[in-house]
């Protein structure tokens, strides 16, 4: 069931009203929490840096992690190798 609920998230001192699927609430709130934690870490290390630049750094960090996860989960090279090996086996058995 896709019951929608309205929630308010606070990220970087701003409120964001959202309408989300009820079953995603925990995930959405945890994501906002992670963003705020990283923002606070950068704010404590770079006290004179503008908030916009800190937000850009946090966005970059999350994007980099996302790209690394995509590479780690990329099965295309393995699929290609399996296809090659399957072709070799089929060719071998045809000769027999």
Please write the tens of the pLDDT for every residue from 32-58.
999 999 999 999 999 999 999 999 999
Q: Which two tokens stand for residue 31?
A: 């994501």
The number of domains in the chain is 1
> Which residues contact residue 5 at a Cβ distance below 8 angstroms, ignoring those fewer than 6 apart?
19, 20, 21, 22, 25
Q: 3-class DSSP state for residue 74?
A: coil
Distance separating alpha carbons of residues 19 and 2, to the nearest angstrom: 11
Task: Tell me the residue range of the domain where 37 lies.
Answer: 4-95
Instruction: Please state, rounded to an integer, the average pLDDT across all residues of the chain.
Output: 90
**pLDDT at residue 39 in the model:** 96
Query: What is the distance of C-alpha 61 from the center of its chain?
Result: 10
**pLDDT at residue 94 in the model:** 83
Partner residues linked to 19 by β-bridges: 6
How many residues does the structure list for the chain?
96
């Amino acid at each position: 069931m896709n019951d929608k609920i309205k929630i308010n998230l606070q990220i970087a001192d701003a409120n964001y009203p959202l309408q989300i699927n009820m079953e995603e609430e925990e995930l959405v709130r945890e994501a906002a929490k992670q963003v705020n934690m990283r923002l606070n870490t950068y704010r404590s290390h770079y006290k004179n840096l503008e908030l916009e630049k800190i937000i850009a750094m946090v966005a970059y960090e999350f994007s980099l992690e996302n790209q690394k996860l995509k590479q780690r989960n990329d099965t295309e090279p393995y699929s290609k190798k399996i296809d090659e090996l399957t072709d070799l086996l089929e060719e071998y058995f045809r000769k027999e």
